[in-house]
Structures are given as C-alpha cells and as structure tokens.
Amino acid sequence: MAAVRKLDALDDVIHQKVRLGVMSSLMASGEADFNFLKAALGVSDGNLSTHLTVLEEHGYITVSKQFVGKKPRTTYSPTPLGRKAFESYVEALESFVRNG
C-alpha cells in the first residue's frame, strides 16, 4: 500500500506540472490550439486532454471549437479566473523561494 501511495504522489506532481505548463503556455501566447500545446509541452494526447478537461472544469480556461475548411480546430485560452489563479500561484511560488 505504501508503494501505491508513493506512486500516486509521484503521479500527482507530474499531473500538476502539466497543468501548470498548460496555464503558463496559454498565459504567454494568449491562446493556443491542441497541437501547439502538445508540441510546446512535449506531452501525449491523452495526458494533455485530461488536464485540459480539468482546467476547463475549474473554469480556468475556455475552449472554442471552429472549423478551418473541413478540419475542426480547438483553441484554448485562459479565463480571467484562470489568469488570477495563475498569477497568485506564481506570487506564492516567488514568496516561497524568497522566504524559503
């Protein structure tokens, strides 16, 4: 059981990092589509879509779907709530590094 918990904890960190990466990427670019995020973060399709769903469910990002010719294109952008959450998270990290 201890080994399982350890694995879970490890997995948790990686997952959170992907979400952090997604938010950082979207904050920098303003908006991006799925393939762009995949290339920028170097993660798999399934992994990325799971985290995008979590971020969307939390209201941190908005998803817009449109057709370019016949191809569907999904773009993601941060919501004001997501921007605020990201900024306060970065602030927290900075103060942690300063005081830690």
Closest alpha carbon to 21 in 7, 32, 8: 32
Q: Which of residues 67-86 bind another protein (CB under 8 A)?
A: 68, 75, 85
Between 58 and 63, CB nearer to another protein: 58
The yes or no reply on residue 29 touching another protein (CB under 8 A) is yes
Q: Tell me which of 20, 49, 79, 83 binds another protein, using CB under 8 A.
A: 20
Packed helices 34-41 and 2-29: angle between N→C axes, nearest 10 degrees: 120
Q: Using CB atoms within 10 Å of the CB of residue 78, give its burial: 0 to 12 exposed, 13 to 18 middle, 19+ buried.
A: buried
Number of residues that bind another protein (CB under 8 A): 47
| CB of 80 vs another protein, minimal distance in Å | 14
- Assess contact for 65 and 52: CB atoms under 8 A: no
- Assess contact for 27 and 77: CB atoms under 8 A: no
The yes or no reply on residue 44 touching another protein (CB under 8 A) is no
Binding site for another protein (CB under 8 A): 4, 7-8, 11-13, 15-17, 19-36, 39-41, 50, 54-55, 57-58, 60, 68, 75, 85, 89-90, 92-94, 96-97, 100
